Amino acid sequence: MRKISELFKKRQPAPAQQSASETLYLETRPEIKEGYHEDENVIVRLVSPRKKDEKPYQVHGIEDVVAKNNWKGWLYLAPVVILVAVFLIYPLINTIFIAFTDNYQYATGKFDGLTFKNFTYILGLTTKSNGARETYFTQYAIPNTFILVFVTVPISTALALLISVALNSIKWFQKILQTIFFLPYVTNAIAVGMVFSVIFDDSGVINFLFGTNTTWIYGADRWTAMIPLVIYIVWSSIPFKILIFLSGLQGIDKQYYQAAQIDSTPKWKVLLKITVPLLSPQLLYIMITSFIGAFKEYTSIVGLFNGPGTMAKAGDPNMETIVYYIYDNLNNNTSAAAAAAVFLFVIILIFTAFQFWASKRRVHY
């Protein structure tokens, strides 16, 4: 008990009544507050006077106590650090390494020296030692990937933006419609791809509704088959964008729109001059994620075509993308697959860096 009163004496320069009795001391208690005192870096906890021999609970220097826990922090991190090292960092480095090895055998880990030839091989510039020449990568994989990226991303972003603005402006059924537009997100990509291939079947509902007789999927021409593929990708990529845009729209101050209304600004101008600039952080985010996503298109093609091509010609992978090429060559031509993966990685890095650079002036936070 004495210790407590000593503590209080230090803080209370006038201990006139202090010596009188314990009850008196308790009345002056509010002078010191329980809890953490930031300025002095002290935790004070008042202990009931009924308990005997109780020391006032003090911890000095919170920072120091935490700093001693160096090992503890690493202990908590250990599982993740191990997993990330084994399944993320090491593979990254190893894949780059494999891309520069000749004839890597994944089962044994053997290879015939280091080379740059994998890159020239996939680009069709050189042949392999056995004379094989790769044509599919430049003929199909690269163009298909770029077409999908530059067609689906702008279409789906613009469409998602329009839908979000419209959804944000309506009063009735807003929640239900919002849920409906989110539905494509909670589906199995393979399953819905198969549904689209039924819809676009020769005797399917699209040909019936439009009175056409086009072959869209199996045995289709490469450019015709792009149409259902693009529609499917746009359909499945819209929900995420709407969700992000809507949360952004709900954060915009209504005053901007009221000001625009007073000036009787036309609707399209409000959209272009107020909504889009104020949504620019969300737009940047959507652009970056959807460009990266579109570069990695794979399951949609498996779902729709059940293979890398439309089977117009047997063994001709005319719908192949870069990622499809990687998976196709993983087993038998690991070096080429790794080279293609590095190629994709570099392209995505350049793209993302470019988008950040381009957005510097245009994005308003």
Partner 1 sequence: MKTYIDFKTVAVNDDIVLSLEEAGKTVDAIKRGEKISRIVMTILTYIFILALALLVVFPFYWMIITSLKQNDEIRATVQTFFPNIVMWSNYVHVLQVFDFTIYMRNTIIVAIFSTIGTLLTTIFAAFAFARLRFKGRDGVFAIFLMTMMIPGEMMVISNYITVASFGWIGEGQTIIQAYAAMIVPFWTSVFYIYLLRQNFKQIPNELYLAAKVDGKSDWSFLWRVMVPLAAPTLISITILKFMGTWNSYVWPNLVTNESSFRLISNGLRGSSFVDVDSGNVEYGYQMAATVLVTVPLFLLFVFFRKYIMRGVGRAGIKG
Q: Segment 158-187, which members bind partner 1 (CB under 8 A)?
A: 159, 162-163, 166-167, 169-170, 177, 179-187
Judged by CB under 8 A, the residue of 137, 240, 275, 320 near partner 1 is: 240
In the range 257-296, which residues lie near partner 1 by CB under 8 A? 267, 281-282, 285, 289, 292, 295-296
Site size for partner 1, by CB under 8 A? 103
Q: Where are the alpha helices (DSSP H) in 184-333?
A: 189-199, 205-210, 222-250, 254-262, 267-270, 276-278, 280-295, 299-305, 322-329
Strands, DSSP E only, in the chain?
35-37, 42-45, 57-60
The label of the residue with tokens 């697959």 reads: 337
CB of 317 closer than 8 Å to CB of 309: yes
Select from 8-16, 84-92, 114-122, 142-150 the region that touches partner 1 (CB under 8 A): 84-92
CA-to-CA separations, 192 to 160, 170, 234, in angstroms, rounded: 20, 29, 13
Q: Tell me the C-alpha distance between 300 and 298, whole Å.
A: 6
Q: Which stretch binds partner 1 (CB under 8 A): 78-86, 111-119, 133-141, 221-229?
A: 78-86
Site for partner 1 in 306-335 (CB under 8 A): 306, 323, 326-327, 330, 334
Write down the least CB distance from residue 265 to partner 1, Å: 14
- Confirm or reject binding of residue 62 to partner 1 (CB under 8 A): yes
Residue 211 binds partner 1, judged by CB under 8 A: no
Q: Which of 20, 81, 125, 350 binds partner 1 (CB under 8 A)?
A: 81
State yes or no: residue 229 binds partner 1 (CB under 8 A). Answer: no
Q: Which of 24, 125, 272, 349 binds partner 1 (CB under 8 A)?
A: 349
83 lies in the site for partner 1, by CB under 8 A: yes
Residue whose tokens read 């991190």: 77
Least separation, in Å, of the C-beta of 77 and partner 1? 5
DSSP run (H or E) holding 133? none
**CB-based contact 99:119 (threshold 8 Å):** yes
* Of the candidate residues 142, 244, 287, 319, the single one contacting partner 1 (CB under 8 A): 244
Question: Of 279, 288, 221, 219, whose CA–CA distance to 248 is shortest?
Answer: 279
- Of 257, 268, 254, 287, the closest CA to residue 162 belongs to 268
Whichever of 139 and 187 has its CB closer to partner 1, that residue is 187
